[in-house]
Amino acid sequence: MPELEAQRLGSEALRLARRHVPGRDEPRLELVGTGLARATFRVERDGKRYAMRLERSAVRGGAHARWEAELRAHAARAGFAPTPLLYAAEDGVLVSTWVEGREFEAAAVGEPRGIDAVAALMRRIHGLQVPPAPQQTGPGPWIESYERALRAASPDRLHATSALRAASLRELERLAAAHGGRRTLCHSDLHPANLVETDGGLVVLDWEYAHIGDPLWDVAGWCCMNDFDFARRATLLARYLGRLPEVDERQRFEALIWLYDYVCLLWSEVFLLETGGAADPAIRERADRLAERLATGGSAARVPAH
């Protein structure tokens, strides 16, 4: 993030923290995460810690943001999300409890205990009963949105992925032909940094991409974000289902794995353009690795049947 943008965001965040975070002392803020449309701060005030999420987009208080605040409350009551304390639609501010714990242990991600824990967590998320969503979405609409942003900001950058764009259409067609299953709540951004291990179990952060969709999207996403090999992908899918997958489930899963990587690549390209190249170099490195993997069919390689 460019320095002036960071200063402006920090100044705005302090003003909003004074207004919306409970307490009387001067709040102390630390930026802990930023994305295309939102930024998250840890706020300390009167000896207590809070998470404050700001909407950075021009459109504030939309139907999805209100729905997200409500579903967070449902997830918190179920025991696997921070408790929301306040949602101020007029300022695009969501204040939640700060979760004390530790990030999901990296060493456990690909081990049987880690795979079992995440599979069980996904089943809980996907079983959560939430209010009707303002819209249902999936990889197709996200691809269209990010490609539109790239086309407007950097046509050359979009042209560089033209072969992948053609491949994405084939994968979307394959997904549509796989007789999509049930629709559930999906978190859509599951990775170790968004899981906190507490004494009461795993707590999931950052619900901004949550939507109603194919539950295998989350399963595919965890595999992609953790660079799972064939065996681990097959194990996670079977652990999640509680059985061996049917043929159409494997086909959906395979298409979703490729599409998840492509959506992440497009997100990274848009983010890098919006931050003027001042973002963490790891994002550029990750984008390059995703492009190479997609071009060679790495993550799209078929999940072995059992």
Task: Supply the pLDDT for residue 206.
Answer: 92
Task: Supply the pLDDT for residue 130.
Answer: 85
Minimum mean pLDDT among 33-47, 217-231, 275-289, 290-304: which range? 290-304
- Count the Cβ atoms, other than its own, within 10 Å of residue 163: 11
Instruction: Band the pLDDT of 5: cuts 50, 70, 90.
Output: low
Q: Please name which of 262, 272, 273, 267 lies closest in space to residue 298, comparing C-alpha atoms.
A: 262
Model confidence pLDDT, tens digit, residues 86-120 = 999 889 899 999 999 998 887 889 999 999 999 99
Task: Supply the pLDDT for residue 223.
Answer: 97
Task: Supply the pLDDT for residue 33.
Answer: 87
Q: What is the rounded CA–CA span in Å between residue 77 and residue 71?
A: 10
Q: Is the pLDDT of residue 180 over 80?
A: no
Task: Supply the pLDDT for residue 66.
Answer: 82
Instruction: Band the pLDDT of 306: cuts 50, 70, 90.
Output: very low
Per the structure block, which two tokens stand in for 101? 């714990």
Q: How far is CA 211 from the centre of its chain?
A: 10
Q: What is the mean pLDDT of the chain?
A: 88
In DSSP notation, 122-185 reads: HHHHHT---PPPS-B--HHHHHHHHHHHHHHH-HHHHHTTHHHHHHHHHHHHHHHTT-----EE
Minimum mean pLDDT among 170-179, 192-201, 294-303: which range? 294-303
- Kindly give, in sequence order, each residue whose CB lies less than 8 Å from that of residue 306, ignoring residues fewer than 6 positions away: 234, 238, 244
Q: Stretch 175-186: mean pLDDT, rounded?
A: 87
Task: Supply the pLDDT for residue 59.
Answer: 41
Minimum mean pLDDT among 26-30, 141-145, 151-155, 240-244: which range? 151-155
Q: What is the rounded CA–CA span in Å between residue 81 and residue 75?
A: 5
Q: What is the rounded CA–CA span in Å between residue 166 and residue 172?
A: 10
Task: State the first-to-last Cα distance of the chain, in angstroms, to the nearest integer.
Answer: 46
Q: Is the pLDDT of residue 257 over 70?
A: yes
**What's the topology of domain 103-295?**
Aminoglycoside 3'-phosphotransferase; Chain: A, domain 2 (3.90.1200)
State what percent of residues in the chain have pLDDT above 90: 65
SS3 category, 217:
helix
Is 219 within 8 Å of 253 (Cβ atoms)? yes
Q: Does domain 3-98 match CATH 3.40.50.300?
A: no
Chain region(s) in the chain for CATH 3.30.200.20: 3-98
Per the structure block, which two tokens stand in for 48? 């207590």
Chain region(s) in the chain for CATH 3.90.1200.10: 103-295
Q: What is the rounded CA–CA span in Å between residue 233 and residue 257?
A: 10
Amino acid letter, residue 204: V
Q: What is the rounded CA–CA span in Å between residue 64 and residue 87?
A: 13
Structure-model confidence comparison of residues 34 and 61, the more confident one? 34
Task: Supply the pLDDT for residue 50.
Answer: 98
Beta strands (DSSP E) in the chain are: 28-34, 38-45, 48-55, 84-88, 93-97, 102-103, 184-186, 195-198, 201-204, 211-213
Amino acid letter, residue 242: G
Is 40 within 8 Å of 206 (Cβ atoms)? yes
- Kindly give, in sequence order, each residue whose CB lies less than 8 Å from that of residue 69, ignoring residues fewer than 6 positions away: 84, 87, 94
Q: Stretch 250-278: mean pLDDT, rounded?
A: 90
The Cα angle at residue 142 between residues 91 and 236, in degrees rounded to 5: 105
Task: Supply the pLDDT for residue 301.
Answer: 47
Structure-model confidence comparison of residues 305 and 265, the more confident one? 265
The Cα angle at residue 209 between residues 81 and 140, in degrees rounded to 5: 150
Q: What is the rounded CA–CA span in Å between residue 122 and residue 260?
A: 17
